[in-house]
Amino acid sequence: MRWMPMIAIALVLIIAMSASSCVHEFPFQQGDVDSNTVIVEGYITNELKRHTIKISRLNSYYDTTVNEVTSAFVSVSSGDNTYFYHNNGDGTYESDESFVGIVGNVYYLHIELDSGRVVLAAESTMQPVTPPDKITYKNAGNNNLTISHIAEGFVPENPAKYVLQLSWMDSETARPKNAVIYYYSLTTVDVSQLFAPKVSETVFPVGTQIVERKYSIDAAYENYLRSLLAETHWSGGYFDEAHGNLHTNISILVTHNPNLKTAGYFSANTVYIDTLVAR
């Protein structure tokens, strides 16, 4: 057949190309590992307590070791009041005194690192919170329940974050058991949210004690939570979004490091607390 010589020629060309090609070693050059990312996590509420701020540093994109920051100067101010924070030894800074956040006030976070060579700041306005919806349950069999409704996932206004702490006694081991459920009511609906991966339901017995906390959130904090959920709870679904950096309100005022970045969030949240028994 006439096409046989053509196949032979093609094979010869492929072999010749393979023989003449080579692999060059490409030296991988990682960026400077000098704690380029500062992570700040903290909030204040309308509860009378000592509030906390967590500060840590992430070495680099490739080295994800988290280092606790234990020598920062931290303060929160609002109006004529300034609250100073001290380090507890693990990167967690606690206010020297208890104080109550006030609805409508703007709270300013001030952080100094590296003896003042790095200065970070953030601000948040405390929004009011509305009473939560009534929690409803569905029967899970064997005197057990699951939660069927906490709140609407989409709301036209007043977005909120819910934290439910469940406590009960295990009937088989006679030991206490606990669970925490997070839920969010946001003012927008994302495709990745609608088609998020299924999660297992928390099953608990009748009589479980539930402490419900509903936190008010402002528009900026809502954007942060949306980006966080897109990277976590909503990730891996049918319509997964492109991954990216989380929103943050931690700004850099002073630095001598042009590669310095920030992550995390500081927020002021009004909280509504209710204690109920699952029936």
What is the rounded CA–CA span in Å between residue 109 and residue 90?
19
CA atoms within 13 A on the CB side of 42: 28
pLDDT per residue, tens digit, the chain (279 aa), is 444 444 444 444 444 444 443 444 434 444 443 468 999 999 999 999 999 999 999 866 566 677 899 999 999 999 999 999 999 988 999 999 999 999 999 999 999 999 999 999 999 999 999 999 999 999 999 999 999 999 998 899 999 999 999 999 998 888 999 999 999 999 987 666 665 667 778 999 999 999 999 999 998 999 888 888 877 666 555 555 555 567 899 999 999 999 899 999 999 999 999 999 999
Q: Is 64 exposed, middle or buried (0-12, 13-18, 19+ CB in 10 A)?
A: exposed
Token digits for 196?
């998020």
Paired strand residues for 119: 112, 254
Q: Of 159, 270, 279, whose CA–CA distance to 225 is shortest?
A: 159
DSSP assigned state of 121: E
pLDDT at 223: 87
- Residue spans of the domains in the chain: they are 37-128+247-269, 136-234
CA angle 42, 233, 127 (to 5 degrees): 40
Give the C-alpha distances (Å, rounded to integers) separating 59 from 14, 36, 91, 247, 259: 46, 6, 15, 19, 12
pLDDT of residue 3: 44
What is the predicted pLDDT for the residue at 16? 44
Structure pTM? 0.77
Q: Which residue has the tokens 């692999």?
A: 23
> Can you name the CATH fold of 37-128+247-269?
Immunoglobulin-like (2.60.40)
- What is the pLDDT, as a whole number, of residue 74? 98
pLDDT of residue 6: 44
